[in-house]
C-alpha cells in the first residue's frame, strides 16, 4: 500500500489508515479526502475547526449594544449616576429689572 499524495487520501485509504491520517492532521495540517479523484472532505485539527466556526462579531450590534460591564463596574456607575441626579445646580433669576 502506498502512502497518500501530499496531504491527500483516497477514501478507502483514509478508512483503512484512519489513525495514521489523524496523526498527519496533528503533524502536517489539514488532510483532504478524495473519492474517484474528486475532493469530498477535509479533516482538520480541533483547534482549527473551533477557530473557523467561532461566531463572528457583528460590528453594528457591538456598537449599538452598549458597554458590557461587570457587576462591580455597573454598581460604581450606578453610584455616580445617583450622585449626579442629586445635584440640581443653582437657581438663576432670569427676570429683567427695568
User: What are the structural domains, with CATH classification, of the chain?
Assistant: 8-53 (3.40.1620.10)
pLDDT tens-digit series, residues 50-91: 999 988 877 887 788 777 778 888 888 777 766 555 556 777
Q: Residue 14 and residue 41: Cα distance in Å, rounded? A: 11
Confidence of residue 26 (pLDDT cuts 50, 70, 90): very high
Nearest alpha-carbon partner for 13 in 23, 26, 27, 3: 3
Amino acid at each position: 500500500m502506498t502512502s497518500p499524495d501530499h496531504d491527500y487520501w483516497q477514501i478507502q485509504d483514509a478508512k483503512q489508515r484512519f489513525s495514521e491520517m489523524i496523526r498527519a492532521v496533528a503533524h502536517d495540517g489539514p488532510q483532504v479526502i478524495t473519492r474517484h479523484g474528486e475532493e469530498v472532505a477535509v479533516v482538520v485539527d480541533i483547534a482549527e475547526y473551533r477557530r473557523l466556526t467561532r461566531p463572528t462579531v457583528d460590528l453594528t450590534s457591538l456598537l449599538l449594544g452598549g458597554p458590557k460591564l461587570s457587576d462591580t463596574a455597573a454598581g460604581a456607575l450606578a453610584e455616580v449616576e445617583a450622585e449626579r441626579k442629586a445635584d440640581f445646580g443653582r437657581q438663576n433669576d432670569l427676570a429683567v429689572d427695568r
